[in-house]
Structure 1
Amino acid sequence: MKIIQTVLENSLFVAQFMAIVFIIFASSYAIEKKFNTINSSRERILNTKKIVVIGLFSAISSVLMMIEMPLPFAPPFYKIDLSEVPVLIVTFAYGPVAGVLTEFCKIVLKLIFRSTNTAFVGELANFVVGCSLILPAGFIYLFNRNKHYAIIGCVAGTLFMTVFGSAFNAIYLLPKFAQLYGMSLDNIVAMGSSVNPAINSIQTLVLFATVPFNVIKGVFVSGITVLLYKKLSIILRSQGKAAVRAGVN
């Protein structure tokens, strides 16, 4: 009976995962389409060229996702990867919807090659928190495709990811992780306490581990993306006359 219950719980979580993916994709598509309508843009949100690049950058991103770096102040399940760099580049080049698709394809490829060791909770966290970085950055960049707005977008994305990602961990991800692994939240807190004695509750775990984790990841991903901006100017300029006029400053 316990096995059946575990299977049902995991199946339900996967269904919730896919529902969240659909909601984020549909919302991003509706907002980007509305933006294009307001600006009289005839550019298709998705086309063959974009899909090909999405596939290529998803593959690169999935490889980067498997290269993880532990942090000395956080429990072992918090590890930084730079898989959002290719995703953010695609977001700037082709729009938020393309970024969400790249983020999702990255997760699918990672699961194909490496499966999951977090009952899909880690993958959901990576997808949702990753989207909380790329979507604010991508929508801000739509207003003016130049380096200045790319930097503003990255700053806004990092701040939003820090706030939303930390709250999402405290309210949903950490309790769900504990549930699916059949452990209590106290066990998770203890994992944090072992590396940082100041961690003695879910709130302090989020404050002293999740928040700095998101800030560091956002800064690294944003910094690398901005450094690569000029070298990727050909891709960025291909998005229309507006990008050509803006140039790369």
Structure 2
Amino acid sequence: MMHRKSVILTYIAVFSSLSIILAIIRAEVPFPPLPYLKFDFAEIPVMIVFMLGGPIPALFTEVIHWLGLTFRSGWLGPLMKFLAVVPMIIGFWIGIKVGVKTPQRHGGMGSMRIFILGIIFGIIMRVMVCSLTNILVLLLISPNYLLYAEVMLRAIGISVNSPLDVLIWTLIFTGIFNAIHVPL
């Protein structure tokens, strides 16, 4: 049992460090409609810990990743990242639990179906939480992002006639971004 705990602690230490390094070197690809959204490869080590050790070690890994980013670059971006990754981990875990307990006619659900169910639940949780947090940020905390989003939306040919249009289109594109980000 002690060996297992030390292995889990090693996973957390190594992969949270790797997440921070990937964030520092900006291993990311911008999402074209809203370039302030980035496909960030720093989430991959967190999900590797999830696969190796389960949801609790993955959550610890993400907390360390979040703290590292917060010390490096302020609070808003890292908090938004944290509030995207944690629901994804929880949703993935719930999806796997549901998949394992779902009876099938011929002996249960296969591993691939369970994994896909985890992805689906991860997407649902991440998109829901990120939509709510984006509403708060765009309307209350940092409305300048909404102005920037309006410029980006117009640049790609989307006609926006009111702040509500900008908010809705921004939430749609942010939801698409978050849905794509989970299986990556």
TM range (shorter): 0.7 to 0.9
AA of the residue aligned to 1:64: L
1:168 matched residue in structure 2: 133
Q: 1:80 is paired with a residue of what secondary structure? A: strand
AA of the residue aligned to 1:151: I
2:116 matched residue in structure 1: 151
Structure 2 contact 8–57 (Cα < 8 Å) conserved: yes
2:103 matched residue in structure 1: none
Instruction: Please list, as runs of the form range in 1=range in 2, the aligned pairs for 1:46-125 lying within 5 A after superposition.
Output: 47-65=5-23, 66-74=26-34, 76-112=35-71, 115-116=72-73, 119-125=74-80
Structure 1 contact 192–205 (Cα < 8 Å) conserved: no
Q: Can you give the 5+ residue segments of structure 2 that lack an aligned partner in the other structure?
A: 101-109, 161-165
Deviation per CA, 1:124-147: give whole Å up to 9, x if none. Answer: 111111111111112433564945
C-alpha distance 188-151 of structure 1, shift in aligned 2 (>3 A): same
Q: 1:219 is paired with a residue of what secondary structure? A: coil
CA distance in 1, matches of 2:117, 2:146: 39
The one of 201, 213, 238 equivalent to 2:177 is 213
Q: 1:47 is paired with a residue of what secondary structure? A: helix
1:196 and 2:156 correspond:
yes
Instruction: Please list, as runs of the form range in 1=range in 2, the aligned pairs for 1:218-233 lying within 5 A after superposition.
Output: 218-220=182-184
CA distance in 2, matches of 1:196, 1:92: 38
AA of the residue aligned to 1:212: I
Structure 2 contact 83–129 (Cα < 8 Å) conserved: no
TM-score, scaled to structure 1: 0.58
Percent same amino acid at aligned positions? 20
The one of 61, 83, 90 equivalent to 1:135 is 90
AA of the residue aligned to 2:21: V
RMSD of aligned Cα (Å): 2.7
> How far did 1:177 drift?
4.3
AA of the residue aligned to 2:89: I
TM-score, scaled to structure 2: 0.75
CA distance in 2, matches of 1:153, 1:98: 17
